């Protein structure tokens, strides 16, 4: 590290490259924190965790005992072991005793993307609630047709304030915070929708994963989904970069393809062998699938991405790739543009099948953290190799979130605990330094 600092001072490496190397080194050294502790008030399994997107300071958690809590992960409320271990107790907690609290398990809790003044919760009591953080009061309530598995809001949206909700119903519902009503529904899944994820490259694109094993892409401005992922449609490795020569070739090929039909059309127009179809009639040779309304074509596509329910989705920061997890204990990386499985060989791991899991990636999307029963595994996104395994929970892990600001990982599980994984800090050395400072240099 000192060599890299010297190279940075001498101008041998750029500041962006230095910052990337520094963060990568910290991420590679993650371990159970020996200087930070989250004091969980939950009496049930921790189902959802998220760090706010504006300051990277406040942690929101939700649990199966219908409670939610918020913590300040940068300012401790108490210290132990002579000030070496910081204790972070919740700033406030909302449970069943609250006048507007949920009655059953909270499955999803997310921050409003713009600021920390609002947060959204979804519960098994068929309700999605929008909360005011300062007053801990519900400012909006949406009643859903079934259990709410997952909620999501777009971090790019400037034209809408929609909450996408995946429930045990086959339809995906969009709740509009601006109007307090449902915007519209998205139909296409044949079973409950377990996970939803907004694109990181377009505010209009939504990705959903269902219990039917299907992953569907939606443009919320149009009817029907425009892409259904198929695990049998594959391409090897990452997408190659687009070169200028390939663009020129593609344009030439396009020109050639466009000129041939026109020439053939001119030839047929002067000939007597062409037969014109009456206006308004469709040839019997045209398949029935092509005569359907474009919004109904997606209902005929029964392609599956997993042999079982899709339990987790995560779009990379550039929006070009999608990572999915399924109850078939498989992880798959998809090329969003082509819709193909990239055949990255992730290790076969045991994943939960009865509830959605929360995947998280680092800022550069080079590493992904996946809850695997009682542990969390870190995989290299592009090779599928296992980089690290984090063991500390006594029961299954449900959720994890990553702090891009501090390079810290937070995990929550059925053991009701929230664990912090951070780069090591040498407490013994600090204690020894403190004891040496207290000693005097004279003797009797």
Each residue's pLDDT tens digit, 169-194: 999 999 999 998 998 899 999 999 99
Q: Calculate mean pLDDT across residues 124-141.
A: 95
Residue 251 lies in a domain: no
Contact 148, 179 (CB under 8 A): no
Rg value, the chain, Cα: 26
Residue 367 lies in a domain: no
The model's pTM is 0.80
Residue 245 lies in a domain: no
Assess whether pLDDT exceeds 80 at residue 345.
Answer: yes
Q: Calculate mean pLDDT across residues 50-55.
A: 93
Contact 425, 34 (CB under 8 A): yes
Q: Calculate mean pLDDT across residues 261-267.
A: 41
Task: Assign residue 213 the CATH number of its domain.
Answer: 2.130.10.10
Residue 88 lies in a domain: yes
Report strand pairing: 331-335 vs 375-380. unpaired
The pLDDT > 70 percentage for the chain reads: 77
- Which H or E run contains 19? helix 15-28
CA 367 to chain centre: 13
- 300 DSSP 8-state letter: G
Residue 405 lies in a domain: no
What pLDDT does residue 237 have? 72
Q: Angle at Cα 300 formed by Cα 297 and Cα 301, nearest 5°?
A: 95
> Quick one: pLDDT band at residue 258, thresholds 50, 70, 90?
very low
Nearest Cα to Cα of residue 230 among 333, 302, 327: 302
Question: Which of the two residues, 322 and 273, has the higher pLDDT score?
Answer: 322
Residue 247 lies in a domain: no
CA 389 to chain centre: 20
Per the rule left: phi > 0, alpha: psi between -120 and 50, beta: everything else, 389 is: beta
> Quick one: pLDDT band at residue 404, thresholds 50, 70, 90?
confident
Q: Calculate mean pLDDT across residues 251-258.
A: 38
The answer to which of 26-35, 102-111, 152-161, 271-280 has the lowest mean pLDDT is: 271-280
Rounded Cα–Cα distance for residues 169 and 174 (Å): 13
Beta partners for residue 64, in sequence order:
none
Assess whether pLDDT exceeds 70 at residue 443.
Answer: no
Rounded Cα–Cα distance for residues 257 and 371 (Å): 49
Please report, in angstroms and rounded to a whole number, the separation of the first and last CA atoms in the chain.
Answer: 44
> Quick one: pLDDT band at residue 342, thresholds 50, 70, 90?
very high
Question: In the chain, how many domains are there?
Answer: 1
Domain residues for the domain of 116 are 41-238+300-359
CA 3 to chain centre: 36
Nearest Cα to Cα of residue 225 among 155, 301, 290, 288: 301
Q: What is the mean pLDDT of the chain?
A: 82
Q: Calculate mean pLDDT across residues 371-386.
A: 93
Rounded Cα–Cα distance for residues 5 and 1 (Å): 6
Classify each residue of 11-20 as buried b or exposed e, where b means 16 or more C-beta atoms within 10 Å of its C-beta: eeeeeeebee
> Quick one: pLDDT band at residue 215, thresholds 50, 70, 90?
very high
Q: Calculate mean pLDDT across residues 75-90.
A: 89
**How crowded is residue 155: how many other Cβ atoms within 10 Å of its Cβ?**
13
Residue 52 lies in a domain: yes
| Tokens linked to 281 | 């009639």
CA 8 to chain centre: 34
What pLDDT does residue 303 have? 85
Tokens 């049930």, residue located: 44
> Quick one: pLDDT band at residue 291, thresholds 50, 70, 90?
low
What's the farthest any 2 CA atoms get from each other in the chain?
A: 122
Question: Which of the two residues, 309 and 287, has the higher pLDDT score?
Answer: 309
Assess whether pLDDT exceeds 90 at residue 427.
Answer: no
Residue 224 lies in a domain: yes
Nearest Cα to Cα of residue 422 among 13, 43, 37, 11: 37
What pLDDT does residue 405 have? 85
What pLDDT does residue 435 have? 40
């Amino acid at each position: 590290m000192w060599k890299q600092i010297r190279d940075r001072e001498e101008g041998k490496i750029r500041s962006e490259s230095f910052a990337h190397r520094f963060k990568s080194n910290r991420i590679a050294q993650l371990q159970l924190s020996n200087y930070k502790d989250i004091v969980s008030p939950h009496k049930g399994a921790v189902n959802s965790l998220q760090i706010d997107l504006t300051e990277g300071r406040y942690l929101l958690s939700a649990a199966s005992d219908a409670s939610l809590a918020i913590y300040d992960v940068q300012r401790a409320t108490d210290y132990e072991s002579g000030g070496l271990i910081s204790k972070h107790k919740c700033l406030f907690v909302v449970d069943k005793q609250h006048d507007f609290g949920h009655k059953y398990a909270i499955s999803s809790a997310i921050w409003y993307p713009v600021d920390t003044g609002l947060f959204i919760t979804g519960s098994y009591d068929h309700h999605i609630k929008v909360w005011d953080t300062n007053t801990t009061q519900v400012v909006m309530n949406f009643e859903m047709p079934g259990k709410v598995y997952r909620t999501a809001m777009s971090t790019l949206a400037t034209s809408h304030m929609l909450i996408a909700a995946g429930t045990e119903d086959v339809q995906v519902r969009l709740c509009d915070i601006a109007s307090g009503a449902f915007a519209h529904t998205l139909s296409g899944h044949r079973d409950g929708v377990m996970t939803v994820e907004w694109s990181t490259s377009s505010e209009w694109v939504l990705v959903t994963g269902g219990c039917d094993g299907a992953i569907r892409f939606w443009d919320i401005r149009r009817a029907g989904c425009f892409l259904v992922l198929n695990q049998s449609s594959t391409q090897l490795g990452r997408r190659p970069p687009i070169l200028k020569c390939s663009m020129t070739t593609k344009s030439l090929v396009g020109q050639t393809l466009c000129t041939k039909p026109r020439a053939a059309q001119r030839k047929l127009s002067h000939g007597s062998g062409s037969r014109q179809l009456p206006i308004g009639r469709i040839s019997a040779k045209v398949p029935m699938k092509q005569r359907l309304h474009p919004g109904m074509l997606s209902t005929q596509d029964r392609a599956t991405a997993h042999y079982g329910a899709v339990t987790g989705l995560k779009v990379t920061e550039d929006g070009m790739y999608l990572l999915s997890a399924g109850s078939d204990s498989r992880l798959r990386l998809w090329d969003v543009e082509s819709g193909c499985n990239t055949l990255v060989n992730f290790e076969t791991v045991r994943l939960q099948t009865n509830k959605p899991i929360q995947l998280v990636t680092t800022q550069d999307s080079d590493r992904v953290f996946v809850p695997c029963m009682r542990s969390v595994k870190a995989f290299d996104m592009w090779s599928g190799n296992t980089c690290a395994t984090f063991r500390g929970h006594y029961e299954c892990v449900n959720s994890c979130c990553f702090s891009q600001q501090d390079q810290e990982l937070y995990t929550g599980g059925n053991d009701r605990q929230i664990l912090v994984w951070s780069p090591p800090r040498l407490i013994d050395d600090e204690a020894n330094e403190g004891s040496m400072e207290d000693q005097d240099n004279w003797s009797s």
